[in-house]
Amino acid sequence: MDKLSIMKEIDELLDTYCEGCFVKRQQRKDSGKTKAHQFCIQTCTIGEQLQFLGNEMNKLTK
C-alpha cells in the first residue's frame, strides 16, 4: 500500500460510515464530545480500521 491509497481508503471509510453516524451523534448528545470520541476510538469497528490505516501510514513515513 502507498500513502495515496491509504488516504483514499480513510476518506472512503469516513464518508461512508462516520459522516452522520447516529451512534456518535447520540453518544455526543448523551455524554459529550470526549466520550463520543472515546467510543469511536475504543469500541467502533470503523474506528479500529481507521487506527490500523493510520498506523500503516506511519510505517510508510518512517
pLDDT digits (tens, 9 = 90+) for 35-46: 999 999 999 999
**Cα–Cα distance between 62 and 18 in angstroms, integer?**
28
Q: What is the pLDDT of residue 1?
A: 79
Domain around 53 = 3-61
Q: What is the pLDDT of residue 61?
A: 81
Q: What is the pLDDT of residue 52?
A: 96
Total domain count for the chain? 1
Per-residue DSSP letters for the chain? --HHHHHHHHHHHIIIIITT-HHHHHHHHHH-HHHHHHHHHHT-HHHHHHHHHHHHHHHHH-
Confidence check: pLDDT of 62 > 80: no
C-alpha cell at 12: 472512503
pLDDT digits (tens, 9 = 90+) for 1-57: 799 999 999 999 999 999 999 999 999 999 999 999 999 999 999 999 999 999 999
Q: How many CB atoms lie within 10 A of CB 6?
A: 17
* Single-letter amino acid, residue 41: I
